[in-house]
Structure 1
């Protein structure tokens, strides 16, 4: 606040385009790109880790489970921590934890050790991501919807580029992507430290119970459980598909680059147009149905690598639209602070991401390689059913998202 009472946002009020953002927003977006690269960096090396450590698919899937479980649980405390440390220092603490645990994971020689270290990485990820989304929306001068488009663009770029880098580093050693994340997030740490201005703390610290109270609002709870369900489809794709594509690290990197590229394009250019024309619920239900059908096709063609490869890439088109629509909706789904809404939603979403990788991998071991994709598709369809059953209660979200 300046001496004349002008706020940071008011000083930048004339900047209204998606690309016309304060420097603080770009600093956080840059860190988000690198953070999301950390997801894709690991995908191309899953088979290599299984082979190097003589581990089963379900054991390797625990790298996702521990990460998502701790991310989801830590989401509960993000508002409590950020309202006391402040936005900038919460981001820095989260990034530092990612740097530390990713580096230690790369230096580990046992699958169980990596699983536990990925859990620590997940705590840092929670502190960073929940705070980053609310900070971008809060500091942006172009409105909630455009700010979220920028966030989703960072997600798409990170997820697209990550597998390429992961494939290159993974072809040298499975340890390479872990060290790569550590180094890149170290750069992001310095970027935030020196470029992002200090943001005032909330006048009233957030209680640790805030996310649970926020889930008392029907719309937020509906979106959270929808994300919980479609994550079973997402992680049958991310955690199991690499094993049936019969590709090396480079090949997997290119496939997931295509997936991330499609995700980035539709999240930035297609989702906003669909939302403007049709609202949130109809296009959200439509793209989730298309994603479910894609998973069912993957199940039917699980023994044909070309089918799985094509389906993985195409699924990015649907998930990009889904991500932007549901993230925008969450920000206006409950009369609570954005950081609290984000934390409550992410808690449910990551709980699905914790169960799904292990369960889908186990289904593949118990039955055959088709079942994980069929199961994921059915779970996504249950998410669609939930959205449609609650559509009347979600009608107000479109108006909230436009502001």
Structure 2
């Protein structure tokens, strides 16, 4: 399939994008060359189903050179952060969306054991082999509405190297029998390496600034974000909306003056009953549910705690919510929307280049193509280019 000009609807989208950029941030509009480049890239992504300069060049029969496409991407002063913000504004306006539910999650992507030049790559546990591999982690914010589901923010996570090295050395010294007072003191976290919960709160604040007219009906996140600081701050930033996360089974709750684990409470005192709930799309499923408003010890306050088990499962999962006025069934059905983020990750990895082919190097040369051999080498470096410097929420 040939690619000699941007698709008509893509050109229309870019024109609307430029108009909106001029209104929201005067002077941030794309130049003629930048607009043409973006139109070419979007058409190429549509046709090739990947972000790959070499594929774009072949599809254009050589009219769009790899070197030129890559140069604009790496060197042009394109306001990437404003592009995402304005794009989402246009989408929400087009569909008439005024409210929705926000969902957080993160995803790891293994790269290779040797690469160190990809943006925010670090050593990760490889689930498939049980060994280690270099990879990336991205924290995503998804907006779920009654008509569409759209990503509205993301940020690359990387653990603090100094803290990671200290933890490794501390474990070694502890195993050797060195007393805590004789071991190095834990260093302060570098602000350049925020935690996942700090990233999530930052994305939530930026969403509120960029889309102040959108009503947030709820905030959903998995067990990683089920801590007091995140849930309280997320409820505050979202205007007091419901925040739903999960507790670990060994977390403590207080019941009639006695402290016990949440697992012990729901298995021995407050056993579940079978119910039918309706998930997105109208499908009805059978679940076993029990709930109570309990004081969660680590949160130092009362929360709405729910034990939930889907049909066919043996163990409960424990939901925790900030707003005590909601009904149990409403919280359960709202939390089912969180699984849409898993669907998005699957689609993204399969169809948008995040999980396929190679990556954009942080230090790719300016002249990418000078020979057939160099073309072959560069193709392994520049495919899926958006991984390197395309950050809509820069640090």
- Looking at CA atoms only, which structure, 1 or 2, has the larger radius of gyration? 2
- Would you tell me which structure has more strand in proportion to its own residues? 2
* TM-score relative to the length of structure 1: 0.23
Task: Looking at secondary structure, tell me which structure has more helix per residue.
Answer: 1
